[in-house]
Chain A
Amino acid sequence: MAQAETRKRGKAKEPAVNQPDLMEAYRTMLLIRRFEEKAGQLYGMGLIGGFCHLYIGQEAVVTGMQMAAGEGDEVITSYRDHGHMLAAGMEARGVMAELTGRSGGYSRGKGGSMHMFSKEKNFFGGHGIVGAQVSLGNGLAFSNWYRGNDRVSLTYFGDGASNQGQVFESFNLAAMLKLPVVFIIENNKYGMGTAVDRASASHDLSKNGAPWGIPGMKVDGMDVVAVREAAEIAIGACRAGKGPYLLEVETYRYRGHSMSDPARYRTREEVQAMRTQHDCIESARHKLEGLGVEEAAFRAIDDEVKGIVQDAADFAQTSPEPDVAELWTDILVEG
């Protein structure tokens, strides 16, 4: 096991990225944002019920990670999961229709916002209990270890979940067995309404795996290129059989914890400052402009993304509710 290392990604060295890749990242991030804005709108109209946690502001995290992921790598995350599904290649239609509880949804309307899966895309949910997905993600890595393949489990969780006992139990098991798992802490500064420094005595979450010798890295999560570069290091180490890796990706959510969060624990100025000075989509756009991308190219992406999202919203409202017989299906695998 390598010595625990913690590095801060500085602004001094701009990581290189080619223009088509960055353009693709821009498109994915924009798709997630427009999708989430639409989901917020449909929630407001009463078409989406229950809990709905939006990913707006954090788009660069999953986008950068998934750019470095390979075919067959597993993804698992918490209930703030819409962006992860889109980045994992799941259809906007199926995700939005699940949000509206319709038969065209990925779980045929039986899971909802927090519980969606795609076996085909190796997306293992969508989990509603804070921290539970971390030991499950360890299990995905275990299955890769057991089968001797070179797949890597990308296990996402928040700064809130990072204090859960089972997360540390998972660190221990992953390090003991040298499991190919990248633990990705999406530190968006608040676990619901509690600021991270009021919930965690660890002031550098990237070091949380250090007692088990798990290398950690702090990453600027508002910069999709930086995330991708860190992801390549972490995933590469896992694939090379070196065991788990921990990334603390510093990010920010612009919206409340869920739809019913009045967000009194932080100032509007704080949110505005992140939005105007650190927005991941804006900064990707500036980089692309610097690379000579013309306005027309951005407009084409904007139009394409809006089309996808509008189509998803239409589908999510026209897809029928699940047949009443669905109440009794999928409880047990028959036979």
Chain B
Amino acid sequence: MATQILMPALSPTMTEGKLARWLKNVGDDIKSGDIIAEIETDKATMEVEAADEGKLSAILVPEGTEGVAVNTPIAVLSVNGEAFTSAPVAAPVAAPAPVAAVAAAPVVVPVVAAPVADKDWGPTKPTTVREALRDAMALEMRRDGDVFLLGEEVAQYQGAYKISQGLLEEFGPRRVIDTPITEHGFTGMAVGAALNGLRPIVEFMTFNFAMQAMDQIINSAAKTLYMSGGQMGCPIVFRGPNGAASRVGAQHSQCYASWYAHVPGLKVVAPWSSADAKGLLRASIRDPNPVVFLENEILYGQTFDCPEDEDFILPIGKAKIERAGSHVTIVAFSIMVGVALEAAKQLAEQGIEAEVINLRTLRPLDTATVVESVKKTNRLVVVEEGWPFAGIGAEVAMQIIEHAFDWLDAPPMRVHGKDVPLPYAANLEKLALPQPSWVVDAVKKIV
């Protein structure tokens, strides 16, 4: 019984190579693992090991031959009567042909007739964003014993920004865990716990520090479901303040919205009001997927009316029209919703009625709500605190160009943080971050 030895592929990209040297002669006995030949690829000279045992009965490609295609028979091995031998290959088995047609992406934008208005949750009470976030975590921790909070200073210190106030007292040190200042290690630990079915809430003191753990958020949390063929989900929330605070300099003042929104396998939420914070954090904790929950330090102390209902929750993936208007659509998220509303107020004094959309979720983006609005106003201004290049504003504008181009009466406009590391000096910092007047100016250019 004879087995052909084929020209092997020795790297992920090799298609052919030079058969540099034979190290065995016809008639030699070959054992599995013996080096039989040397092959030169474009990268290196590699040794070919025999995978079968037997006697080398013929050399089909002499040494020195260049351009030998992968899978070409290069020698013949006589195999001495073993019951099982490694695949006697009569003809090279061709690698599977590349898929001819790539499957079409599922339709991303279900353009619904009209965005569903918020359900009426009944009476509200003035609540700070800080309290709303704390209440959301406490409610979900009471509801589900698998939910726990970990991060720097979340327990005994009651949170670096006092978001976790009272949680240690109520839930104890098993469920409210102070970590050392080691984002990479504790994020990985939390992701591992989520892969094993727990529901961690990871608090980053700020999202600037989450860069230390980026590999675990993207490569482990976001991709494992796909790479496991759907076996292993990762129900985890990464939360903390994102973007500029006040005079903390470039390393503590970055908006990561477009970084995370770029990644399939993640959901990205960016609340503005107390109701957003409470309703969306509850939904994020219950979500079976990894959710990046981008808060804002300046908003923590701001007070908004928030539903008192014990069951209050908001859906991920739904934007909210904060102010109706017919002349221009202003899209914003997080702290910029306030900037957009202030601009809308100033515009109204000048007779321009702006519709202000609070995106609430960045991935999946509620494109349908923006499309419906633009069909009404025919003009779009997107406001974000972060940098412009490949930012959320660029993405929203592109979605509208794709889905509502014919309704646009003017080019979409972007208002954004200046394309510089955020400066420390008070006057320079103010020059770098979007102000209501910038939004007013942008609107007036297209209305």
Contact = CB atoms under 8 A, between A and B. Distances in A.
Contact of B193 (A142, A268, A303, A325): A142
Interface in B37-61: 41, 43-47, 49, 51
Contacts of A47: 93, 95
Contact of A136 (B14, B188, B233): B188
B105 A143 contact: no
Contacts of B185: 135, 138, 165-166, 168-170, 172-173
A49 interface: yes
A129 B215 contact: yes
B192 A142 contact: yes
Interface centre among B92, B193, B232 (most CB of A within 10 A): B193
Interface centre among B44, B45, B197, B229 (most CB of A within 10 A): B229
Interface stretch (A11-19, A20-28, A81-89, A115-123): A115-123
B11 interface: yes
A298 B195 CA distance: 40
Interface centre among B6, B177, B185, B215 (most CB of A within 10 A): B185
Interface stretch (A33-41, A196-204, A225-233, A243-251): A33-41
A332 B289 contact: yes
A146 B148 contact: yes
Nearest to A136: B192
Interface string A49-77: 11100000000000000000000001010
A264 to B, nearest CB: 8
Contact of B265 (A124, A313, A317, A332): A332
B99 A45 contact: no
Interface string B167-187: 000000010010110101111
Interface string A80-105: 00000000000000000000010001
B233 A139 contact: no
Contacts of A41: 51, 86-87
Given A129-B219, A139-B189, A333-B288, A111 B229 contact: yes
Interface string B233-254: 1010000000000000000000
A45 B196 contact: no
B224 A313 contact: no
Contact of B8 (A44, A49, A127, A310): A44
A166 B219 CA distance: 15
A176 interface: yes
Contacts of B9: 43-46, 259
A330 B230 contact: yes
A169 B185 CA distance: 5
A262 B6 contact: no
B420 interface: no
A327 B105 CA distance: 9
A324 B101 contact: yes
A173 B51 contact: no
Contacts of A119: 228, 231-232
Nearest to B82: A306
Nearest to A144: B196
A257 interface: no
Contacts of B11: 259-260
A132 interface: yes
A117 B8 contact: no
A328 B83 CA distance: 44
B10 interface: yes
Contacts, number: 227
Contacts of B6: 44-45
A178 interface: no
Contacts of A176: 180
Contacts of A335: 288
Prevailing SS type, chain B contact patch: loop
Given A37-B32, A138-B188, A169-B186, A324 B229 contact: no
A3 interface: no
A262 B45 contact: yes
A142 B177 CA distance: 12
A262 B47 contact: yes
Nearest to B187: A135
A166 B440 CA distance: 47
A108 interface: yes
Given A143-B198, A173-B180, A259-B11, A166 B226 contact: no
A118 B195 CA distance: 12
B12 A260 contact: yes
A146 B192 contact: no
B76 interface: no
Contacts of B174: 146
Contact of A139 (B192, B215, B264, B289): B192
A207 B12 CA distance: 37
Nearest to B150: A142
A136 B233 CA distance: 14
A129 B220 CA distance: 9
A43 B196 contact: no
B394 interface: no
B267 interface: yes
A43 B190 CA distance: 36
A282 interface: no
Contacts of B27: none
Contact of B219 (A101, A126, A132): A132
B33 A303 contact: no
Contacts of A46: 9, 70-71, 94-95
B73 to A, nearest CB: 11
A160 interface: no
Contact of A127 (B51, B84, B220): B220
B191 A136 contact: yes
Interface centre among A49, A119, A268 (most CB of B within 10 A): A119
Contacts of A45: 6, 8-9, 71, 89, 92-93, 95
23 contacts: A41-B86, A43-B9, A44-B9, A45-B95, A47-B93, A76-B192, A101-B96, A107-B228, A111-B227, A116-B228, A117-B228, A127-B220, A132-B220, A135-B185, A135-B188, A141-B192, A146-B174, A169-B184, A173-B185, A260-B46, A321-B99, A327-B103, A332-B267
Given A125-B228, A140-B193, A165-B184, 20 more contacts: A44-B6, A44-B8, A49-B95, A51-B12, A124-B196, A135-B191, A135-B192, A135-B216, A138-B185, A142-B192, A143-B196, A165-B185, A166-B188, A268-B35, A310-B86, A317-B93, A324-B103, A327-B102, A327-B103, A330-B226
